[in-house]
Amino acid sequence: MSERDTRGELLDLAEKLVRTRGYNGFSYRDLAGQIGIKTASVHYHFPTKGDLGEAMVENERELFARNLARLDAEEKDPQRRLERFIQLFQASTIGCDNRMCLGAMLAVEQETLPEPVRRAVLRLFEHNEAWLAKVLEEGREQQTFRFKGPADGAARFVFSALEGALLMARAFRDVGRFEAATRWIIESLSD
């Protein structure tokens, strides 16, 4: 019989709750009750909610880093990598029970987040934007993408547009809004 991964269960449940309710929308009591442990056990694994939040965001960043490394290894065409990034982004959010991006949900509550969680969210965003900038610059060098200015500025625009499209798609419960926005992003870069 295998040992229960309580820490992993707590991270998974906390992530689900943040993506649906927000960081301030749950307590350790909620986690303990849903998993069937005592609140003290939650504190054993994560002494503070800030520790839990930081670990949760770092898990997300590491997962995306692994997925992006795999994507880079499998796909050399920059446009196809961008398309697959968008598919990955969609699958982990609205394609998964109409959830929001973990970073976006936390960014909304940034004024109430502990500083380590705020920094972790920024690292998550910066990592995604840096990867996008690299892909966009490669696409420009191969004459697949056309845009003015530095690639990091274009990457910030693309990432912001994806987050905004996700928010609108979720609000209207219409994945078509997200898909239309992503088609526009790719077409506008390819013109």
Q: The pTM is what? A: 0.91
We report the CATH number of the domain holding residue 76 as 1.10.357.10
Would residue 52 count as lying in a domain?
yes
pLDDT tens profile 113-152? 999 999 999 999 999 999 999 999 999 999 999 999 999 9
105, 19 Cβ separation under 8 angstroms: yes
Would residue 59 count as lying in a domain?
yes
Asked whether the predicted pLDDT for residue 20 surpasses 60, the reply is yes
DSSP string across 123-153: HHHHHHHHHHHHHHHHHHHTTS---SS-HHH
Would residue 13 count as lying in a domain?
no
What is each CA distance from 173 to 3, 64, 128, 158, in whole angstroms?
39, 25, 25, 22
Report how far residue 114's alpha carbon sits from residue 109's, in angstroms, rounded to the nearest whole number: 10
Q: Structurally, how many domains does the chain consist of?
A: 1
Domain boundaries, position 103: 48-190
Pull the structure tokens for residue 163. 């987050």
